[in-house]
């Protein structure tokens, strides 16, 4: 089935103005003004978008697809994400991971959840591992998991500078990083080590030491939650000059704290390299606050919807839409070597997000299939009830 989208205002993410898009076989087949319709007899759906914004489907590179949490007892284990939680958030590519709980959760279950979501047109991939070292794996080592399991692309989120970390030594850390890097070379996958950073004073010190003392390329290390406190944020701004990409978490806005949108805008205003910045949601993960003794004070749950919330915030603060899109589209796609993702281009995957002028998700096409129309899902997972 062909699909012809008429009169879209395209941000690819670069602004390309008012164009038509032809989709075929799950790919973008043509982009241009006044594209001629396919010959009579060719099956083609035509949709008039009347100047609606079309941007790449979002790439969420840190989401607990199979659920996270459990840090305040088994009753706080977050359930697996439903299809509509991702489609309403405009996400067409999600990379799922395990966090603190590597005991009651498994890579096999995460993999099955990702495979299930992919059934509907999403691209759902996985990390192997979790907070712990040695990493929890499917086949016995992180290297084999990436080398042999198609959907597994990287290692993470391995925890550093956090009371929930398994406190890896330097040698243990770089051994895991080397497994990720070499498996990436063998397969063309991301092959990186995605690192959960806590509030600990050691911050990014182990990563800096790895850059100083090993041959591992800087792209191997991808620290996340770097905006969780100001000293870590300062370290993150510094380490990008050494070639490391860092990941901002779209934490829920909290009074008195800079928002993810403000941090993104400040990053650009400071002249820092925007291509070294990704932003992810921590969807399905718990966002706990602990006291100095490691006792839980309160807990929130992350959502992929935080990505569009941060995008709207950044644009409201004056960041051009094409720049605000980069950390949630092209930048993670490039870092994770996801060719054909994070951009709208001829030959790229037909993953398109339609936004209204308030930057709310109105439509979503994943792999050439509609998942969202008029802001509402048109496809539901088998275990979620359509509203009404
Ligand atoms: Zn984390």
pLDDT digits (tens, 9 = 90+) for 160-171: 999 999 999 999
In the structure, ligand 1 is a single-atom ion and the residues with CB under 5 Å from it are: 157, 196
pLDDT higher than 80, residue 337: yes
Sign of CA dihedral 360, 348, 326, 173: positive
pLDDT digits (tens, 9 = 90+) for 292-309: 888 877 777 889 999 999
pLDDT (0 to 100) of residue 387:
59
DSSP at 164: T
pLDDT higher than 70, residue 324: yes
Question: What's the mean pLDDT in 358-369?
Answer: 98
Task: Read off the pTM.
Answer: 0.96
Q: Which residue has the tokens 């032809």?
A: 22
List residues bridging with 17 in a β-sheet: 10
Question: What's the mean pLDDT in 338-350?
Answer: 98
Res. 1 pLDDT band, cuts 50 70 90 = confident
> Of these residues, 101, 282, 349, 351, which one is catalytic?
282
Question: What's the mean pLDDT in 315-341?
Answer: 98
Distance 333 CA to ligand 1 centre (A): 20
**Which is it for strands 44-48 and 53-56: parallel, antiparallel or unpaired?**
unpaired
The percent of residues above 90 in pLDDT, for the chain, comes to 88
Distance 197 CA to ligand 1 centre (A): 7
Task: Pick 52 or 289 by higher pLDDT.
Answer: 52
Res. 363 pLDDT band, cuts 50 70 90 = very high
Of 126, 73, 150, 70, the closest CA to residue 102 belongs to 70
Res. 256 pLDDT band, cuts 50 70 90 = confident
Residues 193 and 220 sit within 8 Å (Cβ to Cβ)? yes
DSSP at 251: P
- Residue 118 three-state SS: helix
Domains of the chain, earliest start first: 2-55+340-377 (2.30.40.10), 57-335 (3.20.20.140)
pLDDT digits (tens, 9 = 90+) for 109-161: 999 999 999 999 999 999 999 999 999 999 999 999 999 999 999 999 999 99
Mean of pLDDT over the chain: 95
Distance 39 CA to ligand 1 centre (A): 51
The residues, any chain, with a CB within 8 Å of residue 260's CB and separated by 6 or more, are 227, 248, 249, 250, 251, 279, 306, 310, 313
Of 333, 366, 350, the closest CA to residue 28 belongs to 350
Active site includes 212?
no
Task: Pick 25 or 288 by higher pLDDT.
Answer: 25
Distance 160 CA to ligand 1 centre (A): 10
pLDDT digits (tens, 9 = 90+) for 89-117: 999 999 999 998 888 999 999 999 999 99
Distance 162 CA to ligand 1 centre (A): 10
Question: What's the mean pLDDT in 204-218?
Answer: 98
Res. 388 pLDDT band, cuts 50 70 90 = low
Distance 198 CA to ligand 1 centre (A): 8
pLDDT digits (tens, 9 = 90+) for 180-202: 999 999 999 999 999 999 999 99
């Amino acid at each position: 089935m062909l699909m012809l989208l008429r009169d879209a205002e395209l941000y690819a993410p670069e602004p390309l103005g008012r164009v038509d898009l032809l989709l075929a076989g799950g790919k973008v087949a043509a982009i241009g003004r006044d594209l001629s319709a396919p010959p009579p007899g060719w099956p083609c759906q035509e949709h008039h978008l009347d100047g609606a914004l079309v941007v790449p489907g979002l790439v969420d590179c840190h989401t607990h697809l199979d659920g996270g949490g459990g840090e305040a007892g088994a009753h706080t284990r977050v359930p697996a994400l439903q299809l509509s939680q991702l489609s309403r958030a405009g996400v067409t590519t999600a990379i799922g991971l395990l966090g603190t709980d590597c005991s009651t959760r498994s890579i096999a279950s995460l993999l099955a959840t990702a495979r299930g979501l992919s059934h509907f047109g999403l691209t759902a991939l996985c990390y192997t591992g979790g907070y712990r070292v040695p990493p929890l794996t499917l086949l016995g080592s992180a290297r084999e998991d990436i080398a042999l399991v198609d959907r597994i692309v990287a290692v993470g989120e391995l925890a550093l500078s956090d009371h929930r970390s398994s406190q890896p030594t330097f040698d243990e850390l770089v051994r895991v990083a080397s497994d990720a890097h070499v498996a990436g070379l063998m397969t063309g996958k991301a092959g990186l080590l995605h690192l959960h950073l806590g509030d600990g004073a050691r911050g990014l010190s182990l990563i800096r030491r790895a850059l100083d003392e090993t041959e591992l390329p800087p792209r191997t290390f991808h620290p996340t939650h770097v905006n969780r406190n100001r000293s870590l944020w300062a370290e993150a701004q510094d380490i990008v000059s050494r070639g490391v990409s860092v990941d901002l978490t779209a934490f829920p806005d909290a009074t008195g704290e800079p928002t993810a949108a403000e941090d993104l805008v400040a990053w650009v205003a400071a002249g820092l390299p925007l291509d070294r910045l990704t932003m992810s949601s921590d969807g399905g993960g718990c966002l706990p606050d602990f006291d100095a003794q490691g006792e839980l004070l309160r807990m929130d749950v992350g959502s992929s919807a935080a990505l569009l919330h941060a995008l709207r915030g950044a644009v409201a603060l004056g960041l051009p839409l094409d720049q605000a899109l980069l950390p949630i589209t092209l930048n993670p796609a490039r870092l994770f070597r996801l060719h054909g993702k994070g951009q709208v281009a001829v030959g790229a995957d037909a993953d398109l997000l339609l936004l209204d002028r308030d930057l709310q998700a109105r439509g979503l096409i994943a792999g050439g299939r509609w998942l969202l129309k008029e802001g509402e899902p048109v496809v539901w997972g088998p275990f979620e009830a359509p509203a009404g």
